Structure 1
Amino acid sequence: MKISYKFMALVSILALVLAGCGAKETAENGQAAPEKVKLTIWHNWTGQDAKAVTMRQLMEDFRAAHPEIELEDEGLPTDGLKTRLRTVAAANEMPDLFVMWPDAMTKEFVKGDLLQPINEFIDSKPEWRDNFIPNALDGYTVDGAIYSVPMNLAPSSFIYYNQAIFDEHGVKVPTTWAELEAAIGHFNEKGVIPMALGNKANWVAQSTIFSTIGDRVTGTEWFLKAVEQDGAKFTDPEFIEALKVMQNLGSIGAFQEGFNSIDETQMMQLYSQGKSAMFMNGGWALANLVNNAPEEVLDNTHIMILPPVEGGKGDPNSTSGVVGTGLGVSKKLTGAKKDAALELLYALGGPEGQKATLDSSTLVSYNIELDTSKAHPLFIELYELMKNVKINPVYDSKLSSAAVEVINNGLQELLMGGNPEDIAKKIQDAQAGALGK
């Protein structure tokens, strides 16, 4: 077969051009073109609150700065994310990076050999590592290995209240448990929802209300012993008393009808529409209010912690919470993919990410001064409040997954008239079973 000289010449020229382009790229960069990497991340930054909007923007900024990394992100609501993570964990099919929670979830994933430690990476950036607040990394540390860093600070239990509604109906903002019960009675008489609750995703009542009530009644030391099943049980009288205190809130009409049928977003809408005087939620709710509440509601909103329970053993100047969610790095990642994952972790949880989070009206577990000239007044109020309030453990950060499911379902049942002793026994059996005791 004959091949024309013109065709051979064209092939030669094309080869030289391509070689020249490759040489030019190598010369300009001083190194070979970076390896293309595909990275997956699952998160719960799905809403229109300031924090979620900020985190999504940080991911967009990361994409722009790293064209060599194809970032595929998937957002799920918090309860859906937790469920899905545990489902894929059972099959060892974790995404490359994923939002996870400290303490119980971290320990379970480490036990399942699903995570890789990041000690070497954070040790390479001591100015970042050493600027977290005291004990911030404890919830992500197992046997000396650090598996993530907190990207926020998550006190989970505050009362947000509308001062204008209190004033309109002549109701005193409560500072004692008796005053809280009296306020609930007054608002019911006036046809105002005392405290909006959206417990369809049943962690809400447990995390934002009961974890603090439980601590008020039993004290933190008792709870930690019960978690370990070492000298305390969930069938003990003090825990049953805590369940009764919670149940009494439902009995006296603290919450609107159908509270187990609406979600956290709908709960916030009731408050934003001026239909409820109060709601209980974590510090994260503030970013939602700042972005979405009408000005007349936002300007009259203030924050306080739950009043002390008479005769309780807990510290009345505390609230439940955790240091905040972190990003887990899949054990399977190696090489360029692992490097890319750590770069993203740093972009979201490093100093710039921490500052962006604080600027989004969200507390952080990191030492940064708040710029009060730019911060929303309500966030300044929360920021100042937290300087004098201790954090005690939120129940779902310490209990086993099995016990968390039982207590979440149990509190729904409790608020509908369930028997406290029966519910306590189910929780005790679940935790003891999970520990093999």
Structure 2
Amino acid sequence: MKKWISLLCSAAMLALLLAGCGGRNEASGSGDNGGEKVSISIWHNWTGQDAKAVAMRKMIEDFRTAHPEIEVVDEGLPTDGLKTRLRTVAAADEMPDLFVMWPDAMTKEFVKGDLLQPINDELDANPDWKNNFIPNALDGYTVDGKIYSVPMNLAPSSFIYYNDALFKKHNVKVPETWEELEAAIKTFNDNGVIPIALGNKANWVAQSTFFSTVGDRVTGTEWFLKAVEQDGAKFTDPEFVEALTKFQKLGDIKAFQDGFNSLDETQMMQLYFQGNAAMVVNGGWALANLVNNAPPEVLDNTHITIVPAIDGGKGVADTTAGVVGTGLGVSKKLTGARKEAAMKLFYAMAGPDGQKATLDSSTLVSYNIELDKSKAHPLFVELYDLIQRVKIVPVYDSKLGSATVEVVNNGLQELLMGGKPEDIARKIQDAQAAAVASN
């Protein structure tokens, strides 16, 4: 009898233990933390020592301090690695809770895959926040009337950063036309100076920071948007082949250092920091890196201009390719207490305080905040003033689908190494035609 009682008690205790474990799992799945610490994950690309990355990581640490009841598990990856990893986990429907994502093409792909949840309710609950973004800033994150994120910066992707001391030393004019750019390249080569540092190992660099603007200069924005939709324009059209040919000539006249397809963006910037290159073409985001890491003799002589006008092109001269900036995606699976915790972090980083911290890190924002020029670095003031008079046109990888972007990026690597522009144009056209047909 005692043996049966003992067995029954053991069974009862086991049942209680199992029920307890099951209860915790169920609560975790529903988002009800039951008084326990809530854990959320965030993936980002704030991995470097530039002022922007440092500021964003500090915001995460400050949030942890202010919210001890929330565990924030963050994982940082370089930009190209993050994009690849996100698309890998997207295919398996295993998205992190929050993650840095890009507007337009990536947002649309993730919405189509039913991976995101909209943030309309949070925006509507904070109208001062929602209504303070610059015009059209939310368009790239809006699909069928639902808003899936907000930009956390402004990302013009194509500026020429130039070392004015080297320009003066070799009596070179800062180029305002394409012919003047080619002349500057020749003079610097003749004097043993790398004209333009390029690091295109992660093959988005040439496309995003340089070719997207060159393409727009030649074809005009209207043509590009029609080609994206495959509606009245094709990438085999003469104007696009001309844009590729124009860009290829830069490789032919040795605009870039040897081995540019084997160096990454960090190494590219190092060539400029070391004073070995007269120019580097990069996005507005590069300024935070310059301010934090360039030696004084380079930083103090650095100024900024845009890619020169191209005579006979259909595009507007005072433009730069770009997007409103990256935002945070919110996983469709988030509910309950975990969603509430995630949205608190979202607001801390993308709300008014986060926008100000980003601007203070020498990074442009898509939000209406007045820059205190007395406290900002002079080079950032120069960039800030320049962007007030320059219009942003689409960067290629924000409008084309991921499969086409990969063909463009690989094609530009091939182009600069002597590939035939017509062949590359055909590959891009075939890829985009297939992408549009599959939608």
Q: Same fold (TM over 0.5)?
A: yes
Q: Report SS of the residue matched to 2:218.
A: helix
1:207 partner amino acid: S
Q: Report SS of the residue matched to 2:227.
A: helix
* Inter-partner Cα distance in structure 1 for 2:331 and 2:115: 6
Q: Which residue matches 1:101? A: 102
Q: How does 1:164-313 map to 2 (within 5 A)?
A: 164-313=165-314
Contact 1:35–1:336 (Cα < 8 Å) also in 2: no
Q: Which residue matches 2:47? A: 46
1:75 aligns with 2:62: no
1:355 aligns with 2:356: yes
* Inter-partner Cα distance in structure 2 for 1:328 and 1:390: 26
1:281 partner amino acid: N
Alpha-carbon distance, 1:148 to partner: 0.2
* Inter-partner Cα distance in structure 1 for 2:155 and 2:111: 22
Q: Which residue matches 2:427? A: 426
Q: Report SS of the residue matched to 2:41.
A: strand
Alpha-carbon distance, 1:310 to partner: 1.1
Alpha-carbon distance, 1:33 to partner: 8.4
Unmatched runs of 5 consecutive residues or more in structure 1: 2-31
* Inter-partner Cα distance in structure 1 for 2:89 and 2:375: 42
Q: Which residue matches 1:338? A: 339
* Inter-partner Cα distance in structure 2 for 1:34 and 1:429: 55
Please, what TM-score do these two structures have when normalized by structure 1? 0.92
Alpha-carbon distance, 1:35 to partner: 4.2
Contact 1:235–1:421 (Cα < 8 Å) also in 2: yes
Q: Which residue matches 2:149? A: 148
* Inter-partner Cα distance in structure 1 for 2:379 and 2:43: 30
Q: Which residue matches 1:11? A: none
Q: Report SS of the residue matched to 1:268.
A: helix
Please, what TM-score do these two structures have when normalized by structure 2? 0.92
1:232 partner amino acid: A
Q: Report SS of the residue matched to 2:100.
A: strand
Contact 1:200–1:263 (Cα < 8 Å) also in 2: yes
* Inter-partner Cα distance in structure 1 for 2:269 and 2:245: 26
1:125-182, Cα deviation, whole Å (9 max, x unpaired): 0010000000000000000000000000000000000000001111111111111000
* Inter-partner Cα distance in structure 1 for 2:283 and 2:175: 19
Q: Report SS of the residue matched to 2:321.
A: strand
* Inter-partner Cα distance in structure 2 for 1:143 and 1:33: 36
* Inter-partner Cα distance in structure 1 for 2:154 and 2:361: 13
* Inter-partner Cα distance in structure 2 for 1:230 and 1:334: 41
- How high is the sequence identity, in percent, across the aligned residues? 79
Q: Report SS of the residue matched to 1:182.
A: helix
* Inter-partner Cα distance in structure 2 for 1:33 and 1:148: 29
* Inter-partner Cα distance in structure 2 for 1:382 and 1:277: 18
1:88-121, Cα deviation, whole Å (9 max, x unpaired): 0000000000000000000000000000000001
* Inter-partner Cα distance in structure 1 for 2:196 and 2:389: 25
Q: Report SS of the residue matched to 1:327.
A: strand
Alpha-carbon distance, 1:34 to partner: 4.6
2:230 partner amino acid: Q
Q: Where has structure 1 moved over 6 Å in runs of 4 or more?
A: none
1:409-428, Cα deviation, whole Å (9 max, x unpaired): 00000000001011001001
Unmatched runs of 5 consecutive residues or more in structure 2: 3-32
Alpha-carbon distance, 1:206 to partner: 0.1
Q: What is the total number of aligned residue pairs between the two structures?
A: 407
